[in-house]
Amino acid sequence: MLGTNAYSRYGYLAGTDDQRLDDLNRALQETSIDAVWCIRGGYGAIRLLDRVDYAAIARRPKIFIGFSDITALLNAITRQTGVVTFHAPVARAAMPQFSRCHFERVLATPEAPGRLGRLPDPAEVLVPQENRIVTLRPGTAEGPLAGGNLTLLHCLIGTPYFPELDGAILFLEDAGEDLYSVDRMLAHLRLTGALRQLAGVAIGRFTELERATGDGALGLDEVLATYLDPLGIPVAYGFPIGHIESQWTLPLGVRARLDAGAGELELLEPAVA
Architecture of domain 17-267: 3-Layer(bba) Sandwich (3.50)
Answer yes or no: are the C-beta atoms of 211 and 219 closer than 8 Å. Answer: yes
Residue type, 197: Q
List the catalytic residues: 68, 173, 243
Answer yes or no: are the C-beta atoms of 52 and 130 closer than 8 Å. Answer: no
pTM of the complete model: 0.94
Polymer length in residues for the chain: 273
253: left (phi over 0), alpha (psi -120 to 50) or beta: left
pLDDT at 136: 96
Q: Which of 112, 109, 111, 104 is nearest to 88 (CA)?
A: 104
Where are the alpha helices (H) located in the chain, listed in sequence order? 17-29, 54-59, 71-81, 97-107, 150-156, 179-192, 220-228
Spans in the chain with pLDDT lower than 50: none
pLDDT at 128: 59
Enumerate the domain spans of the chain.
Answer: 17-267
